[in-house]
Chain A
Amino acid sequence: EDQVTQSPEALRLQEGESSSLNCSYTVSGLRGLFWYRQDPGKGPEFLFTLYSAGEEKEKERLKATLTKKESFLHITAPKPEDSATYLCAGLRSNDYKLSFGAGTTVTVRA
């Protein structure tokens, strides 16, 4: 059975304190690994897609990396506006369905 596990569940950071979020996955025939950002009461907003081990993508203070078993979302020198829930999801190649993790809620204090 496909499984996507995110850790930690919650992360409290001081502004400027860099950290990493983990997403470990067992998804049959993984076609891609996706990261989304979700603000309270809103739908998820697409951030990155990673397709192969070793791939990295960056956007402002966020960098996503992928290995054969897990993905990391690194937040460098975070600001309060980076506070959100970050979701990762694996896309299966046989039916193109996404399996989501439960998310990591990041709170950045000024």
Chain B
Amino acid sequence: DVKVTQSSRYLVKRTGEKVFLECVQDMDHENMFWYRQDPGLGLRLIYFSYDVKMKEKGDIPEGYSVSREKKERFSLILESASTNQTSMYLCASSSFAQGGNEQFFGPGTRLTVL
């Protein structure tokens, strides 16, 4: 069964803190994605990666960075958290090689920055 897991369901951090969100997939997918979801705005792509050590900016990369040292793990980093980064963060993975284009999502991390 397809599985994407995220390290925390809920996280509360203070302004200025460095925040790490971890995502792991067990499907051997080559593509991984980080989105944030806000009411009325839908899902917006922050960063994505098509391979280990590769990263591409999405639509809203400002204030974020990513790391992909292993195929199964994709980390989102908030270098200095700000209140406008309070949001639901969703990780997803997909594979072109396995014949489908659909992205499979993790359960999400609800981050609150105080």
Closest residue of chain B to A35 (Cβ to Cβ) is B102
B45 touches A43 (CB 8 A): no
Given contacts A41-B108, A42-B107, A43-B108, contact A34 B102 (CB under 8 A): yes
B64 on the A face (CB < 8 A): no
Say how far B87's CB is from chain A's closest CB, in angstroms: 13
Residue-wise, chain B 47-61 has the 8 Å CB interface mask toward A (1 for contact) of 010000000101000
Q: A32-B101, A49-B101 are in contact. Are A96 and B108 (CB under 8 A)?
A: no
Total contacting residues, chain B, CB less than 8 A: 27
Instruction: List B contacts of A96 (CB < 8 A).
Output: 31, 94, 96, 101
In the complex the two chains form, what is the Cα distance from A12 to B81 in whole Å?
A: 38
Given A100-B43, A102-B40, A102-B42, also A49-B102 (CB < 8 A): yes
Q: Which residues in window 80-110 of A have CB below 8 A to B?
A: 87, 89, 91, 95-98, 100-103
Chain A minimum-CB-distance residue to B110: A41
Q: How many residues belonging to A are interface residues under a CB distance threshold of 8 Å?
A: 23
Hey, which chain B residues are within 8 Å of A46, CB to CB?
Answer: 102-105
B41 CB-CB contact with A under 8 Å: yes
Interchain CB contact under 8 A, B41 and A102: yes
Are A42 and B100 closer than 8 Å at their CB atoms?
A: no
Contact status of A43 and B101, CB under 8 A, knowing A87-B42, A97-B58, A102-B40: no
Question: Considering only CB atoms, which chain A residue lies closest to B94 in the complex?
Answer: A96
Measured CB to CB, the residues of B under 8 A from A are 4, 31, 33, 35, 40-45, 48, 56, 58, 90, 92, 94, 96, 100-108, 110
- Nearest 10 interchain pairs by C-beta: A43-B105, A102-B42, A100-B43, A100-B42, A44-B105, A46-B102, A43-B108, A43-B107, A43-B106, A32-B101
Residue positions of A touching B, CB distance < 8 A: 4, 31-32, 34, 36, 41-46, 49, 87, 89, 91, 95-98, 100-103
